[in-house]
Structure 1
Amino acid sequence: MKKTMIADFSLLFVALIWGMTFVLVQNAIEYLEPFAFNGIRFLLAALILLATLLIFDNKALKQFDFKIIMTGIFIGFWLFLGYVTQTIGLQYTTSSKAGFITGLSVVLVPLFSMILLKQIPSKNAIFGVLIATVGLFFLTMVDVTAMNRGDGFVFVCAISFALHIIFTGKFSSKYPTLLLTILQISTVSILSLISSFIFEDWKKSMSMDILFTKSVIIALFITSVFATAIAFFIQTNFQKYTSTTRVAIIFAMEPVFAAITGYYWANEHLSSSAIIGCFLIFTGMIFAELPQKNFSILSKDKSIGG
């Protein structure tokens, strides 16, 4: 139980980092195109972790073989696919709809866990998922419009992020954490840079005037160190101690932290529905953390009161 609690708080810290860096990334991609930004961000993170591995954990290199390479590439592919489909989708749909659809990974994770891993979520985890999903709607869906192809791309993003959580949980206990993290984020970097060369004006992206823009430097430093190297190391290391469904609910806190950060740092408006959404997502996370017996007691009290 103690390891589970430490893992959950560590993963909540990851959601906090991702939420707090959202504004930084938005500012940076005004100068540096998205694929190029992600390619450089993940490359720097991979180099930081590789240096850490060589200095502090070079014994892990003995387990560097074909199996771990393919596993790292496999996990990294789903992470990359999530980023690329979200980027494409945002060109055709609104950020609010994209935020909600991406957040649907909180529903997809327990579904995929049952299908792929034969793991049945607890009743309180399922209840937490439902509450968090409603909260995501209130937080992100400020406009409800007809579905379009952008929404389809973002839904593929939600599936990809859900599968990344699933497969990280499946393989994280089988391989050295640092080595597996390096391989998956290196995969994201390589695929992002290739995408940048194909789909973006890479010459403009590689311009020194762009790369040394203050917003870009700050965003690249903070996201590569904290939101990538540290965050994905924490996820890979601690996810083995908790359930995939709880991870998904915890990560649903990311837009909550992003909304709060945007309110304080970017003077963004936080509507009453967004506040309700934040509260519901937080409540869903708390329900998911409750021991099963506590949830049963709550259910009995409710039936007696009704």
Structure 2
Amino acid sequence: MTTVPARRASPALAAALGLVLVTASWGSTFPLLKDVNERVPVPDFLAVRFAVAAVVLHLLAPRAVARMAPEVRRRAVWLGLAYGAAQLVQTVGLQHTSASVSGFVTGMYVVLTPVLSALLLRQRVAPRVRLAVALATLGLAVLSLQGFAVGPGELLTLLGALLYAVHIVGLGAWATARDAWGLAVVQMAVVSAVCTVAAVPGGIAVPDRTGDWVALLYVALVAGAFALVVQTWAQAHLPPTRAAVVMTLEPVWAAGFAVAFAGEVLGWRTLVGGLLVLAAMYLCEVPRRGRPAGPGGADDAGPAARSTISA
């Protein structure tokens, strides 16, 4: 009797699940850091956080960076600069707008990513993925917005969202599973350097409480090092637009953790907005009947069809 071999899970499905875990780690930091950033300036905290992450990743795989081709290392530096600048611009923007508006505007990378993918990678965005982008945007609005006005804070935050989109598109174009670890190490080091430059004028402050150090180590190792390695690996298997839609789960996780551990009330906004984002992810990641669930399926250009962005 002939046995039928078990079907292996699609790399794209594994990548999407990996990004779900990444967004969960990011979302868990919101209630954790709510008080820490009142005691430690954000640029200082980010500089130390990403330095710790870079050092730990390097110690765990000391040859990962050396194995990378010079071109790959150069691309990792550009990606780190985009991500570090996004972190700082978003932080400055948050000082001039509300947290809810900042969360919504930052989430606009889900709209900007397919635009940049089309312009830079010449990738076609399938109609159902466009619908998923619209659903995710609506979900973010329901989750976050309770009034909106455009001012300097919103414009700076939008610039941050654009830089996040640049990072997602660049990672989608340049990431390979083989170089995921080394790419993460270089990016972490560059982000730490960018944040250190921003922190130096006022002197770099470090946490002076045990609890704050525990929080810093958690966000450095789990929501930083682990998350960026997994994100880099996942984006070697997913088109940038689909990755961006999955990553809009971050505020859903943040709301869930806030309800579970910070005593916040589960309101209709959290429920409806979260369901809309989940529907967007389902629309992106569940293949249509009769279509394969490959990296891009029949809808998007997968990693094999990427255009090259010169660096």
1-side partners of 2:269 and 2:175: how far apart?
A: 37
Letter in 1 for 2:165: A
Q: TM-score, normalised by structure 1?
A: 0.88
2:240 maps to what in 1? 244
Say if 2:91 is the partner of 1:83: no
CA RMSD of superposed structures (Å) = 1.7
1-side partners of 2:282 and 2:64: how far apart?
A: 39
Unaligned runs of 5+ in 1: 296-306
2:19 maps to what in 1? 11
Q: Residues 128-148 of structure 1, C-alpha deviation per residue, up to 9 Å, x if partnerless?
A: 11111101000000x213211
Task: Verify the 8 A CA contact 1:78 1:163 in the aligned structure 2.
Answer: yes
Task: Verify the 8 A CA contact 2:177 2:232 in the aligned structure 1.
Answer: no
1:181 maps to what in 2? 184
Letter in 2 for 1:202: G
Structure 1 position 112, deviation (Å):
0.8
Q: Residues 10-51 of structure 1, C-alpha deviation per residue, up to 9 Å, x if partnerless?
A: 011100110011222222111111000000000000001100
Helix, strand or coil at the partner of 1:78: helix
Task: Verify the 8 A CA contact 1:31 1:216 in the aligned structure 2.
Answer: no
2:305 maps to what in 1? none
After superposing on structure 2, the runs of 4+ consecutive aligned residues of structure 1 that deviate more than 3 Å are 292-295
Helix, strand or coil at the partner of 2:236: helix
Say if 2:57 is the partner of 1:49: yes
2-side partners of 1:149 and 1:132: how far apart?
A: 25
2-side partners of 1:118 and 1:99: how far apart?
A: 29
Aligned partner (choices 255, 264, 269) of residue 260 of structure 2: 264
Aligned length: 283
2-side partners of 1:294 and 1:77: how far apart?
A: 42
Say if 2:223 is the partner of 1:224: no
Say if 2:271 is the partner of 1:275: yes
1-side partners of 2:286 and 2:264: how far apart?
A: 33
Q: TM-score, normalised by structure 2?
A: 0.87
2:169 maps to what in 1? 166
2:251 maps to what in 1? 255
Identity %: 27
Unaligned runs of 5+ in 2: 1-8, 292-311
Task: Verify the 8 A CA contact 1:68 1:175 in the aligned structure 2.
Answer: no
1:299 maps to what in 2? none
Task: Verify the 8 A CA contact 2:177 2:236 in the aligned structure 1.
Answer: no
Matches within 5 A, 1:146-165: 146-165=149-168
